[in-house]
Chains A and B, each alone.
Chain A
Amino acid sequence: MSTTDHQSGWKNILLRYETLLLAVLVVEWLFFYHYGTTTNRRGVFVGFGTLDRQFDILRHSCEIGLLALALTPVILTAGIDLSVGSLLGLCAILFGKLWRDGGLTIPVAAALTLVAGALGGGLNAGLITVLRLPPLIVTLGTYSLFRGLAEAITHGAVTYTDFPASFLFLGQERWLGLPTQAWLFLPVAAAVWLLVHGTATGRSLRAIGFSPEGARYAGLPVERRVALVYVLSGFIAAVAALIYTARLGQAKADAGTGYELFAITAVVLGGTSIFGGRGSVTGTLLGVAAIAVLKSGLATLPVVIRLNAAEEMSGMLTGALLLLALTGSILPKILSTLRARRQAG
C-alpha cells in the first residue's frame, strides 16, 4: 500500500465523517422544523420555523463559532487554548473602558481591543514556544489571569452600557438580509479555511500536530507556526468580544464564561482530533451548527419548555453527541487494525 493511497483513504473517511455530520444536522433541523414550529396560544406563529428564530441561531452561533474557528488551527497542532473565553471577557471590558473612560471613538477602541486580543494570544504563544511549556497548563493559567484582570479592572462591579446605536447595529440588527455579525463571521471563517486548507502554512500545522519532531527535522519553522495560531486565536477572541458586546449591549467581567468548553466541543464534534494532525474547518462549522440548532431547537418544543429542561437537555444531548462522535471516529481505526491483522495472518 503506497503512502498516497493511505492518505486518500484518510481523506475519504474525513469526507464521510463530514457528510455524516451534515446528515445529522439536516435530520435535526427537519425534526425541529416539524415539532418546534407552531401557532402558539396567543395566535402568533412562533418557534423553530420562523425566520427570526433562524436568524437568532445564526446570531448566537457567531461568538461560539468564532472561538471554534480560533481553536481549530490550535488543536490541529495538538495544542489547546483554554483561555479564549476569559480573553473574550477581558477584551469586552477593555473595549468598554477604552470607549467610555478613555474617551476614544468606537473604531479606535475596537482596533485597540483587537491589538489587545492579539497580545493576549501572544502571551500564550510566548510561554508555549519560547519556554516550551505544555499549552494546557499555560492556557489554564491565562484562563485565570485574563478573567482575573477583567474583574480587577471593573472591580467586578462596573458594567459598560449605553453604547451608541451605530455600534449595537453590529450585534442586534440586519444588514443585506442577514444578521450584521454574520458579515463579520463569514470572512473570518473563509480566512481560517484558506489558512488551514489552502496554504503551505496550513499543511505545516497538521505536520506539527502529527509530530513536532518530524516537522522540525523537515525544516519547518515549528515555533513560528505554533506562535501564529495562538496569536490568531487571541485576535479572533477579540473579534468575538466585540460581537458579544454589541449583541448584549453591555460589557461585563463575566462575558464569555464557559465558552471555551462549547468551542472545544464544537471543534471535536466537527471531527478534529484532539491529538492534532487531523481535522477540517468545514467540520468545525458543521459542529457549531449542530450544537446551535440542537440548543435552539429544544427551546422551541413546548414540552421541553414546560419541563424547565431546555438548557439541561441541550447540554446532556451535546455531551452524548460528543461521545458518540468520538466512538464513531475510532471505528475506522479499529477496522483498519483488524484488516491489518487479517492481512498479516
Chain B
Amino acid sequence: MNRYFREISVTIALGLILLAMAVLAPGFFQPQPLLSLVTREAPTLVVACGMALIIISRQIDISVGSQFSVCSICAGLLAARGWPLGLVVPAAAAIGALLGACNGMLVAGLRLPSIVVTLATMVILRQGLNLVQQGAFVNLPDSVQWFGLSQAAGQWTLVGLALALLLVFGLAMRRVAAGRWVYAVGTDAEAARLAGIRAQLVTFMVFVLMGTLAGIAATMNIVQSPQVQPAVGSGLELKVIAAVVVGGVAISGGRGNVWGAFAGLLLLACVSPALTHLHIEAYWEKTIQGAIILLAVVAEGLRQRKSKGGRE
C-alpha cells in the first residue's frame, strides 16, 4: 500500500471527481464525448510515457513541445507530398529520435544539466520552425484523416495504440532489465555505474526514446484534423510534466511509473469538460489545474513528513 500510495491516491481523486460528476452532471458520461476526449488526449499520453521515463532517470525535457511541433509539421509536409502513412509515421519517429539524440548527446555526452539544455533546444527548435514555416498551416489530403479509416475506427485505433504503448512501458519498466536500469540511474547514477550499468548510455537512450515517442504522438495528433498548425504542441511540456508529477513520479528521480502518469493525465484532462458540465466559466480552468498540482505535491510532502519525519 505504502509503495503505491501516490498512484492509488491519484486514482482515488480521479474516482471522486468522476463520482461527483455522476451525481451533479450525469450528462458528462455520454460515451461519444468521452471517446472524443480520450482520443484527443491519446497523443499526450504517449508523450507522458516518455516524460515519465525521463523524470524517473532524474532528468527533465522541456523541449518536448517543440519536438512535437517540428515532427507534426514535417509529418504534415510529407503527407501533403503524397507519402503514405506507413512511411510518414516512421519518418516522424526518426526525426523525433534525431532531435532526442541531440538533447541526449548534450546531457549524457557533455554532462550538461538537462533543464538548461532542453530550455535552449526548446527555443531553438520553436523559433527555427517559425523561421522556416512563417506560421503557415499545412493542409493535409483527405486520405490522412483517421488513417483513411472511418471516423469511429480511427478513434479506436488511436486510443488502442496509446494504451498499447502504455502497457508496453508499464510492463517493460518492471520486467525488462533496461527498465530497471532507468530506475537505477535515476536513484543513484554513481552506484548504478559501479554496478556495471552504463549510466550515460541509459540517459542518452531515454532522451532518444522521448524524441521517438514525440514523433509518434505528433502523427497521432495530425490524423485528427485536416490541417496542421505550427503552434501545435506549445505548452505541451508543462502539461505533460504536470501530469507525470501529479501521477506520483518523483522529480528527484528513481520513483514512480507510467500508470501513475496515466492517472495524473486523466485527472488534469477532466477539468475542462467537467467545468463545462458544471456550468462554471472557462477562466477558472488554469486555477483549478494549478491547485490540483499543488494539492498532489502537498499530500506527498505531508505523507513523507509523517512517515520519516522529514525527507532529508
Query: Interface residues, chain A, CB within 8 Å of chain B?
Result: 80, 127, 131-134, 136-138, 140-149, 151-152, 154-156, 212-213, 261, 264-265, 268, 274-275, 308-309, 311-313, 315-316, 318-320, 322-323, 326-327, 330
Contacts and interface: CB of A to CB of B under 8 A. Distances in A.
B295 to A, nearest CB: 9
A138 B285 CA distance: 18
B171 interface: no
A309 B135 CA distance: 12
B130 A311 contact: yes
Q: Which 10 A-B pairs have the closest CB atoms?
A: A145-B290, A148-B287, A148-B286, A144-B290, A131-B301, A315-B127, A141-B293, A319-B124, A312-B131, A141-B294
B120 interface: yes
A131 B305 contact: yes
Interface in B233-249: 238, 241-242, 245
A217 to B, nearest CB: 12
A316 B287 contact: no
Nearest to B242: A140
B305 to A, nearest CB: 7
Contacts of A274: 113, 115-116
Mostly helix, strand, loop or mixed at chain A's interface? helix
Nearest to B131: A312
A326 B116 contact: yes
A285 B112 CA distance: 23
Interface of B: 60, 106, 110-113, 115-117, 119-124, 126-128, 130-131, 134, 238, 241-242, 245, 251-252, 281-291, 293-294, 297-298, 300-302, 304-305, 310-312
Contacts of A133: 297-298, 300-301
B287 A261 contact: no
A145 B282 CA distance: 14
Nearest to B130: A312
A132 B294 CA distance: 13
B127 to A, nearest CB: 3
Contacts of A144: 238, 242, 286-287, 289-290, 293
A144 B113 CA distance: 24
Contacts of B294: 127, 138, 141-142, 145
Contacts of B293: 137, 140-141, 144-145
Contact of B298 (A131, A275, A330): A131
Contact of A330 (B60, B110, B285): B110
